[in-house]
Structure 1
Amino acid sequence: MPRVLLVPPDTRPPTLELPVQLGRMTGAEMLTPPAGALPDFFTPGDTGALRSWLLENAAGADALVLCLETLCLGGMIPARRVSDALEVALGRLETLRELKRLNPALHIYAFGVVVRVAHDNDPHEEKPYYGEWGPELRAYSAAFDRHARHGAAEKSALDAARAALPADILADWLGTRERNRALHLAALDLLKGGILTHLSVTLDDTSEYGLAAFDRRLLEARADELGVWAHFDTYPGADEVPCALLTRALRHHLPPARAWVTYSGTLGAGAGLIYEDRPAGELIKAHLRGAGCTLARQFGEADFILAVNTPGRRQGNVQPDLATVDTPDRHLPAFADDLRDLLSRGLAVSLADIAYPNGAERRLWQLIQDLPLAQLAGYSAWNTAGNTLGSAVAFGALAPLVTDRAAQQQALLARLMDDALYQAFTRPEVRSALENPSPFDLGEQRGAAEAKLREVITPRIQSLWDRHFAASGLHLSIGAAHLAWPRLFTGVFPLTVTATRPPARPVP
């Protein structure tokens, strides 16, 4: 039984609980740091306590899946906000050399996240001034990258974007990016030196033009120089990477898992995405590689089926979107029929719903209610297309390794419940019951929001279980739902699925 240390980017269920569940369903022993060592929203974790925990547990571990920002800057969100010097961050990075000295056989799977250029004016996940200057910083980001790519023709636009920002704010924002980029470049050197087994540096909420794309090109150029592409990935993603690297760790001695990809629409591979810089088909290839998987060239050689609900042409934010998502370029009833056929043949099917970001497509959810959902190898429909795809790939690639059916059903139920019941249906209802809530901080309305959440979601979870899982011979315990942070974006839904004990035999 492999022992895996997991250092996540934060403590939300998809970044902490999901990879733990995926590991446990394969029989792996999953160890996570004490709560105080991990970040709480934008409050940094205790990097000293984290270092001590790693040094205490490294000797007995087979693999470490680790977020560089948590080790070096206190967490993925704190890394966008804290003022820690580069030298301090690099000193913390040296912990990985110490771990390798303590346990030369330890496989270290590390990942970092290029500082995003947020699409909204969030003053909590970003620098506090982003709430006021977000539009101008986004404009500068795009103008800088256009100038970097296209030269003098874009200089006037760059000058105008720079002039629209206070010099001190721009300098501080760019300084944070440069520090984090230097950290990622140093991690590439650790990869070259054999300290890391694999490194992924992903791009959160990226776009075709911007500073994230500029950083990616610098990382790619350095990877070229070092010749490390066999063990390095950079692509759009973030929160799902712990699941991807865990998949690599658990399948370390196995051939790459092969995925057969099927789409809901004729144009599926070319569908456009809101938070990524490439079409769906290219994003899928990147996420398969990130998890150590590959495309199956023939249906019969596939280890799992990745069934992807893509938009007709391009993702939309509001359901239904008849202009770009729900178009004649796809026929959802036929896609649901295909899923039924694949499941009836006993194949491992992992369903990724990326038609809309931030939750399941409500029409598809209704169409699949007559399917045996408990037979799915995996399900995902949360946040960005990359978040969804990375999670669904991990479910599918680990399906052949499942030894604990209750743990697999718990992980599957958690995603069906969160991505569909909460994100697509319950969250809008909770929002409408509040008084003009801020998307960034609920303030005094948090208590009312959580009370409404529990009122609505608890019977829905039970109904989902009764319809699809109750005949499985397993038992469900439902805890009190609440919010991960003081905002509606992420819920916490304590669930426990256990094997039903057979009745005790009478003593003769």
Structure 2
Amino acid sequence: MKRIYILLGLMLCLAFACWHTFLHPAAPAGINIQPNAPSQNLLLVPLDGRPPCRQFVIDAGTIAGYAIHTPPSELQDYYSAPGDTAGMRQWLQENLPEQEAAIISIDQLLYGGLLAAREKEATPAQQDELIAFLRQLHAQNPDKPLLAFSILPRQTPQDTIDGYQEKKDLLAYSRLKGRQAAGLAVDETELARLEAAISPENMQKYLQHFAENEALNRKLIALVKEGVLTRLVLGQDDGEEYSIPNIEKSHLWAFMQQEGLPEEKAVITHGADEIALTMLAAYQNERTGYRPQVYIAYNHPTTRETIMPYMAIDMAATAREKIALLGGQEAVSADEADLILYLSTNDYEKDTVSLRSQNVQELRDYLDQSRKLALVDLSKHFTAQETILPLLLENDFPINSLTAYAGWNTASNAIGTAAASASLYLSAQKNAPSQKEALGIVASNIRFLQNRILEDYFYLKEDIDTVNHTLKKAGYRNTADLDLEHNWRWANAMLQASMQKHLAAYKQSQSLKKPVQLHTEQGAFTIFVDDLTMELSYPWPRTFEIYLETTPYIYQSPPSS
């Protein structure tokens, strides 16, 4: 009996050893890398509460050592409920003295967020009240830069304008008026028909929206000239080549030139959600005196002139605009560049996807030359089949060697996000005082990189359609306005299950786990990601965007003996 007990004991010890070895392996042979503690503090009044407008700035800020402080949730907008504008102004006034600077959304301070700005009206008196507040804020904090941004209305009619045909007619009217203002010939008969078909009430409401916004932005431009605002960026939301918003934009450009304001003080750009992040990168570059040299590379000869959905300009113009906005310069060759901004706009209808294997090799070649590489991975039809990332994973491309990745929503959103986060990384590394600091910058950058890959590719190119289709199949038609108590919870459960399956496969891939050598001002380091976890949910009752935060477990390989 004693022998049996001894044998059982040995078997239990062996079983425990196997369990510990295979299910709980020893820690990797290397030094665990953690992000640096923030050393600088900035305030952010975000455009709205969505992650691209708020969380992206917080997360990317850590790359360059910024703690980004945002208003408490009770003041912030929540989907269709506008933010507390009075409370937001008080919060800004109370907290600015302890911070270095503030990035301020005018739409949040005046209307309560982007969605509210699309529908609400602000009287001249309400506008003047905001202008007076900004003057007072500057007078109380004369040494604190106020970096403001305001969004031009999109041409889509307000939701308060009823009727499908009425909205369709207003869009057609906007496009014709835009062409007419650009000096192009238009069908005058069709223009007259639309003017007669649209009710005077809705026509007045639609046009007044742009007039009100133009008046507001003229007042903000005047504040720049006064020195109240350190910088003003006007963004164009969901634009087209010819439209009434472009008429407003041309008026404002002319006013800026009339006032003699340089672009580093007041500028108009395409996009909205990414502007706060770009302004953070611009602030960092101005503070450190860094001007990133960026070479723009394209996946296909036609990409340069491609105009992607919801854009008014082509890819080349968009990229140059974003580079200039963050204080960089376009490099004429890859050899002279700090960063390669690689733009991909695959479209199966134009058969550009057939070059994807060639694109993978081009990206490898850049890495072999020790280039810093930011990949903008767009799809004309918002599908995984048109992106480059799946081929990178199939070919064991060392994904953590990318400096930045983005592939979400519009071209301006994605290019602005990739360029800004890469610029923050490059600037921070250029000023890193030690090897430990340089590795902490790497850790923060990889975290932001993995956030973008998991959301922009795995969710937005794969899972969102599955979730929407399942909801619609069950009878829920409007995935942009979910019921918090019923289908929103179900959608969250689907999101969690599907994305965790993706993560389980992705974190075992050679592409993620492969060691990569990163070249910094403090020397070259070999690092690897041993594991990756993820938290995610729908922040608003709709499926359009997700809140996602990863935790990569990053290690520095010990030097070879």
Alignment of 1:240-255 (within 5 A): 240-253=274-287, 254-255=289-290
TM-score (norm 1): 0.89
Which piece of structure 1 moves more, 341-350 or 250-259?
A: 341-350
Is 1:397 aligned to residue 397 of structure 2?
no
Residue type matched to 2:330 in 1? Answer: L
Residue type matched to 2:417 in 1? Answer: S
Matching residue within 483, 498, 501 for 1:459 = 501
Matching residue within 309, 318, 322 for 1:274 = 309
Q: Which runs of 5+ in 2 are unaligned?
A: 1-38, 430-439, 516-527, 557-561
Alignment of 1:76-87 (within 5 A): 76-87=114-125
Q: Distance in 2 between matches of 1:357 and 1:249?
A: 34
Per-residue deviation, 1:23: 0.7
Residue type matched to 2:302 in 1? Answer: L
Confirm or deny: 8 A CA contact 1:71 1:93 kept in the other structure: no
Which piece of structure 1 moves more, 302-311 or 398-407?
A: 398-407
Aligned to 1:316: none
Is 1:72 aligned to residue 110 of structure 2?
yes
Per-residue deviation, 1:347: 2.5
Which piece of structure 1 moves more, 279-288 or 438-447?
A: 438-447
Confirm or deny: 8 A CA contact 1:359 1:383 kept in the other structure: no
Per-residue deviation, 1:368: 0.9
Q: Which has the higher contact order (CA 8 A, sep 6+)?
A: 2
Residue type matched to 1:287 in 2? Answer: K
Q: Distance in 1 between matches of 2:103 and 2:492?
A: 32
Aligned to 2:179: 146
Q: What is the DSSP-based 3-state SS (H/G/I as helix, E as strand, rest coil) of the residue aligned with 2:313?
A: coil
Matching residue within 459, 466, 471 for 1:422 = 459
Q: Where in structure 1 do 4 or more consecutive aligned residues deviate above 6 Å?
A: 498-501
Q: What is the DSSP-based 3-state SS (H/G/I as helix, E as strand, rest coil) of the residue aligned with 1:275?
A: coil
Alignment of 1:94-133 (within 5 A): 94-118=132-156, 126-127=159-160, 129=162, 133=166
Is 1:433 aligned to residue 470 of structure 2?
yes
Aligned to 1:60: 98
Per-residue CA shift, 1:322-374, capped at 9, x if unaligned? 323x338x722111111122223432211112342656654512211121111
Q: Distance in 1 between matches of 2:122 and 2:253?
A: 26
Q: Distance in 1 between matches of 2:188 and 2:138?
A: 47
Rate the CA distance shift 1:88–1:131 in 2: closer, same or farther, 3 A. farther
Confirm or deny: 8 A CA contact 2:348 2:386 kept in the other structure: no
The CA RMSD over aligned residues, in Å, is 2.5
Alignment of 1:76-475 (within 5 A): 76-118=114-156, 126-127=159-160, 129=162, 133-150=166-183, 155-230=188-263, 231-253=265-287, 254-311=289-346, 321-324=347-350, 326-327=351-352, 331-356=355-380, 358=382, 362-369=386-393, 370-400=396-426, 401-402=428-429, 403-436=440-473, 437-443=477-483, 444-467=486-509, 468-469=511-512, 472=528
Per-residue deviation, 1:148: 3.0
Aligned to 2:545: 490
Per-residue deviation, 1:267: 2.4
Confirm or deny: 8 A CA contact 2:376 2:407 kept in the other structure: yes
Which piece of structure 1 moves more, 65-74 or 169-178?
A: 169-178
Residue type matched to 1:255 in 2? Answer: Y
Aligned to 2:519: none
Residue type matched to 2:548 in 1? Answer: F
Confirm or deny: 8 A CA contact 2:80 2:116 kept in the other structure: yes
Aligned to 1:317: none
Q: What is the DSSP-based 3-state SS (H/G/I as helix, E as strand, rest coil) of the residue aligned with 2:376?
A: strand
Residue type matched to 1:485 in 2? Answer: W
Q: Distance in 1 between matches of 2:286 and 2:339?
A: 18
Rate the CA distance shift 1:477–1:44 in 2: closer, same or farther, 3 A. same
Aligned to 1:478: 534
Aligned to 2:523: none
Per-residue deviation, 1:220: 0.7
Q: Which runs of 5+ in 1 are unaligned?
A: 312-320, 502-508
Rate the CA distance shift 1:363–1:214 in 2: closer, same or farther, 3 A. closer
Q: Distance in 1 between matches of 2:83 and 2:544?
A: 21
The number of equivalent residue pairs is 485
